[in-house]
Amino acid sequence: MKQQICILGSTGSIGTQALEVIRNHADLYEVYALTANNRWQELAMQARQFHPAAVVIANEAHYDALADVLADQPEIKVYAGTKALEEIVEAEPINVVLAAMVGFAGLVPTIRAIKAHKKVCLANKETLVVAGQLIMQLVEQYHATLLPVDSEHSAIFQSLTGEGTNEIEKILLTCSGGPFRLYTHNQLQAVRAVDALYHPTWTMGPKITIDSATLMNKGFEVIEARWLFDVPSEKIQVLIHPQSIVHSAVQFCDGGIKAQLGVPDMRLPIQYAFSFPERLTLNTPRVNLFHQPLEFFEPDTERFKCLTLAYDAIGKGGNMPCILNAANEVANEAFRNAQCSFLAIADIIERTMQSVTFDASPDLDVYLQTDAEARRMTAESL
């Protein structure tokens, strides 16, 4: 029986690479549902190639256009709206949900997938940043399987495989350093979105590319690791590793370190989440360690304040990481639209973290309210 896969965010960077994985292993995987936010033409093209049972376009304004262009494919059901997107993950034949939407919008569909006992392959890190405690509680309560797709977390997960309850002393979370790793404060003052949208080692969607340049992405990954592996943030150390070959590592109580290495290519972590515990072939270039220096540096948290803000947020707990995420989503977009400078991003987020109502033990409703309040306050402060 082929695994039936639902991809939330199939037109994105992760989504399209996941489709490549599925195409390369068509004997094992089949697409059951594809979803996108706005790019209905691309979604229709994917539907013609992969023949899913359903497609969902989140933005209802594109429903007619999408339904029209797929009218000659009556076996593909077409839906629109966020409700439909949240419902589709529950469809009975689906075995695997790949959560590859970007931002807070991924939270509710991911929760619905967990509650429907689907195997969830999680790329959407914002879900764990916002509501990590709730998500991990639900995973336990519903005996769900949650597998990391983020490359660092996949590397940590791969390093932990076979280790049972052996004690983790420390997680070594690697970080390319982004395009501005060697920039001075003055140089950082002048950078524009086009400069930040070029990443030295990874090709990704626009939001995460900016987050990688500010190092907020790494801060998010500290929070993500804290919840996925139940390790306090004090035991998660960020290492700048410009080559992006060591994708992260775990240091155990006997001092032994296990790491996962490979070329920077998201198809491996995506495929591993699909196939775990098995490994499938993947035709990527191989790392040649003879030609590959491996360097590690400490991050500079003065130039890259977002990393400190993320540690502060997880240290404070409650809804603070949710506030951090919402403020970042607004500031990140403002920077992409040339409405604020690169260095202002961290200042804007810090102000929002100081202003939004703190809640030490939030539930889903509190997260939804906090997200809305933090977005409004951040937008007003621009």
- Which residues contact ligand NAD by CB under 6 A? 9-15, 36-37, 39, 58, 85, 100-103, 105, 123-126, 150, 202, 204-205, 207-208, 266
> Angle at Cα 12 formed by Cα 171 and Cα 208, nearest 5°?
40
Stretch that binds Mg ion, among 147-155, 225-233, 290-298, 317-325 (CB under 5 A): 147-155
Q: Which is nearer to ligand NAD, 58 or 89 (CB)?
A: 58
Cα separation, 22 vs 20, whole angstroms: 5
Handedness of CA 357, 363, 368, 371 (dihedral sign): positive
Residue 224 touches Mg ion, criterion: CB under 5 A? no
CB of 219 to Mg ion, least distance (A): 12
Q: Which is nearer to ligand NAD, 126 or 371 (CB)?
A: 126
Q: Which residue is nearest to ligand NAD (CB)?
A: 12
Give one DSSP letter per residue of 115-171, joined into a string.
Answer: HTT-EEEE--HHHHHHHHHHHHHHHHHTT-EEEE-SHHHHHHHHHHTT-TTPPEEEE
Q: Which is nearer to ligand NAD, 205 or 317 (CB)?
A: 205
Cα separation, 352 vs 378, whole angstroms: 6
Q: Which is nearer to Mg ion, 132 or 362 (CB)?
A: 132
Q: Which is nearer to ligand NAD, 207 or 305 (CB)?
A: 207
CB of 10 to Mg ion, least distance (A): 20
Residue 150 touches Mg ion, criterion: CB under 5 A? yes
Cα separation, 173 vs 248, whole angstroms: 5
Q: Which does 346 bind (CB under 5 to 8 A by kind): ligand NAD, Mg ion, none?
A: none
Is 150 annotated to bind a ligand? Reply is: yes
CB of 220 to ligand NAD, least distance (A): 7
Number of residues that bind Mg ion (CB under 5 A): 3
Taking Cα atoms as reference points, which of 60, 69, 18, 76 lies closest to residue 42?
A: 69
Stretch that binds Mg ion, among 8-16, 93-101, 109-117, 148-156 (CB under 5 A): 148-156
Q: How many CA atoms lie within 13 A of 334 on its CB side?
A: 23
Taking residue 105's Cβ as centre, other Cβ atoms within 10 Å add up to 19
How far CA 122 is from CA of 17, 28, 133, 138, 203, in Å, comes to 14, 20, 15, 14, 18
CB of 205 to ligand NAD, least distance (A): 3
Could you give the 3-state DSSP secondary structure of residue 52? coil
Helix (H) or strand (E) holding 371: helix 364-380
Cα separation, 231 vs 225, whole angstroms: 7
List, as residue ranges, the binding site for Mn(2+): 150, 152, 221
List, as residue ranges, the binding site for 1-deoxy-D-xylulose 5-phosphate: 125, 151-152, 176, 199, 212, 217-218, 221
Binding residues vs Mg ion (CB under 5 A)? 150-152
List, as residue ranges, the binding site for NADPH: 11-14, 124, 126, 205
